């Protein structure tokens, strides 16, 4: 049972690979092993944002001949990219079952010259080594969808409009990654920092950001910035991570007959007593904080005192401290509800019935965090937006970027371009009109950070 805030969560991560995977020279490995101990000691402290990293200004970046070629290639690859998006989206990828779609994208990464591998979390990683191997920019898009196995996922085309579950979330993100990788490959552009492309697992639902957690664990020592590509829209930059916790509370008792055992402790009664106490918890407007009892499961028949009652509760806040407070209120309310039920049972003469037992279980946790206003990553995407004439606003949301942001690693989440609607529904749609803008925006941002060979 966890009861940790985001900062304490940082301690769970450890460094397993200080440098990028692949064919690392022996001297690097020796050097890495020497500094490993020092770095491991510093891991409990969030890594400071690399504010000292200079970016290449976008206006001068676009003067580079090869950068111009990559931008032109993105324009040329429009229909190819849409074809890949459809192929990928027609391969089922429910959370925890992403491997078939992952293998398809691994082949696309490989054909774009990336060094590919799949890690133990099901992340497909495509590495594009830079001139300096020790620094890297991670560009990720989640593989998984919210749709259970068996959902019809054929993509229907009506003019430019595509309809199908997951076509935008995250078909648009995956398509942006393969388009970028191919455009970079065809122009043979060299970057200073390495570029790590990752189609990651477990972003949705109860995946609990497992894929991104693993990527950060693996590459933490070399990561300078993370760009998570999720959905289509180009009108936002997610720089603030919304923290959330999902908890299950299960109450168990002896159970009995509604008439014969009337008065004995009833887990449903105890749960409803506890929840009604919790519902009057005051939450602030700022930092915005919310709660929801989303699922209640209990009972076998109407004339049975059931043996077990379960509730699933979602807690969200712009502040970790408010989340701590809210979780404490939930626990206290449930304990008080059980206490009242036991007292009522004792009053009814059921003094020897067993105590209702309380078990809390974490169903997932997304730690909070925020990209500082002066971060080079933010400056890079703002310059890209200015160059492309794109209007965008800063946004708080719950995405893969939560994990790096919670550890002090500069990160944003953005869309892959195009238009979309109906996310997480069977009528989800995507229109690639304007996709190029989204892909170019990501390209200029990562090249501004990674640096390009003159």
Task: Give min distance, CB of 143 to Zn ion, in A.
Answer: 10
Which region, judged by CB under 5 A, interacts with Zn ion, from 228-236, 264-272, 347-355, 362-370?
A: 228-236
Under the criterion CB under 5 A, does residue 230 sit at the interface with Zn ion? yes
Under the criterion CB under 5 A, does residue 341 sit at the interface with Zn ion? no
- Please work out, in degrees rounded to the nearest 5, the angle formed at the alpha carbon of residue 29 by the alpha carbons of 26 and 31: 110
Looking at beta carbons only, is 231 or 253 nearer to Zn ion? 231
Looking at beta carbons only, is 144 or 385 nearer to Zn ion? 144
State yes or no: cis peptide before 170, omega within 30 of 0.
Answer: yes
Among 144, 169, 365, 431, binds Zn ion (CB under 5 A): 169
Task: Give min distance, CB of 230 to Zn ion, in A.
Answer: 4
Task: Give min distance, CB of 115 to Zn ion, in A.
Answer: 26
Place of tokens 């919304």: 242
Scan residues 292-321 and list those touching Zn ion (CB under 5 A).
none
Q: Please give the size of the binding site for Zn ion, defined by CB under 5 A.
A: 3
Looking at beta carbons only, is 169 or 353 nearer to Zn ion? 169
Which region, judged by CB under 5 A, interacts with Zn ion, from 41-49, 168-176, 282-290, 315-323?
A: 168-176
Number of Cβ atoms within 10 Å of the Cβ of 85: 28
Task: Give min distance, CB of 77 to Zn ion, in A.
Answer: 22
Task: Give min distance, CB of 169 to Zn ion, in A.
Answer: 4
Which region, judged by CB under 5 A, interacts with Zn ion, from 2-10, 60-68, 166-174, 281-289?
A: 166-174
Query: Which residues, 6+ apart, have CB-to-CB distance to 340 below 8 Å?
Result: 270, 273
Under the criterion CB under 5 A, does residue 85 sit at the interface with Zn ion? no
Query: Which residues, 6+ apart, have CB-to-CB distance to 138 below 8 Å?
Result: 196, 198, 215, 219, 223, 225, 226, 227, 404
- From CA 99, how far away is CA 175, in angstroms rounded? 17
Looking at beta carbons only, is 193 or 430 nearer to Zn ion? 430
Place of tokens 């055992």: 261
- From CA 416, how far away is CA 435, in angstroms rounded? 7
Looking at beta carbons only, is 311 or 401 nearer to Zn ion? 401
Task: Give min distance, CB of 316 to Zn ion, in A.
Answer: 17
| Inter-helix orientation angle 435-450/65-76, to 10° | 150
Under the criterion CB under 5 A, does residue 170 sit at the interface with Zn ion? yes
Q: Pairing between strand 304-305 and 236-241?
A: unpaired
Looking at beta carbons only, is 5 or 122 nearer to Zn ion? 122
Instruction: Give the alpha-carbon dihedral of 82, 84, 89, 91, to 10 degrees.
Output: 160
- From CA 279, how far away is CA 296, in angstroms rounded? 14
Task: Give min distance, CB of 425 to Zn ion, in A.
Answer: 13
Residues at the contact surface with Zn ion, assessed by CB under 5 A: 169-170, 230
């Amino acid at each position: 049972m966890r009861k940790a805030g985001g900062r304490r969560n940082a301690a769970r991560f450890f460094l397993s690979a200080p440098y990028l995977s692949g064919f690392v020279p022996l001297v690097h490995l020796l050097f890495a092993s020497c500094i490993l101990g020092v770095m491991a000691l510093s891991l409990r402290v969030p890594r400071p944002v690399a504010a000292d990293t200079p970016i290449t200004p976008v206006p001068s970046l676009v003067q580079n001949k090869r950068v111009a070629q990559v931008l032109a290639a993105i324009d040329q690859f429009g229909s190819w990219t849409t074809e890949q998006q459809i192929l990928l989206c027609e391969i089922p990828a429910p959370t925890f079952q992403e491997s078939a779609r992952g293998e398809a994208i691994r082949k696309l990464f490989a054909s774009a010259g990336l060094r590919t591998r799949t890690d133990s979390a099901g992340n497909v990683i495509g590495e594009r080594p830079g001139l300096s191997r020790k620094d890297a920019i991670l560009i990720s898009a989640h593989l998984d969808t919210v749709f259970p196995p068996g959902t019809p996922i054929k993509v229907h085309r009506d003019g430019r409009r595509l309809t199908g579950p997951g076509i935008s979330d995250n078909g648009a993100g995956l398509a942006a990654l393969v388009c970028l990788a191919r455009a970079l490959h065809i122009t043979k552009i060299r970057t200073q920092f390495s570029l790590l492309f990752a189609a990651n697992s477990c972003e949705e639902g109860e995946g609990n950001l497992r894929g991104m957690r693993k990527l950060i664990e693996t590459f933490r020592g070399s990561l300078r910035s993370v760009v998570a590509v999720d959905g289509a829209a180009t009108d936002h930059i997610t720089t603030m991570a919304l923290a959330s916790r999902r908890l299950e509370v299960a109450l168990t008792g002896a159970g009995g007959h509604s008439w014969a055992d009337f008065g004995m402790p009833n887990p449903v009664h105890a749960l409803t007593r506890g929840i009604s106490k919790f519902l009057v918890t005051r939450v602030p407007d700022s930092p915005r904080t919310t709660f929801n009892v989303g699922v209640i499961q209990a009972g076998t028949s109407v004339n049975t005192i059931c043996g077990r009652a379960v509730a699933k509760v979602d807690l969200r806040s712009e502040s970790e401290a408010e989340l701590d407070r809210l979780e404490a209120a939930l626990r206290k309310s449930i304990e008080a509800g059980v206490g009242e039920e036991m007292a009522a049972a004792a009053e009814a003469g059921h003094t020897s019935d067993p105590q209702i037992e309380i078990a809390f279980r974490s169903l997932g946790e997304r730690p909070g965090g925020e990209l500082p206003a002066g971060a080079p990553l933010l400056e890079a995407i703002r310059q890209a937006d200015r160059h492309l004439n794109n209007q965008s606003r800063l946004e708080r949301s719950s995405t893969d970027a939560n994990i790096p942001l919670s550890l002090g690693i500069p990160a944003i989440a953005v869309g892959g371009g195009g238009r979309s609607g109906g996310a997480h529904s069977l009528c989800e749609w995507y229109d690639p009109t304007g996709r190029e803008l989204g892909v170019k925006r990501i390209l200029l941002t990562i090249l501004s950070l990674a640096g390009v060979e003159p």
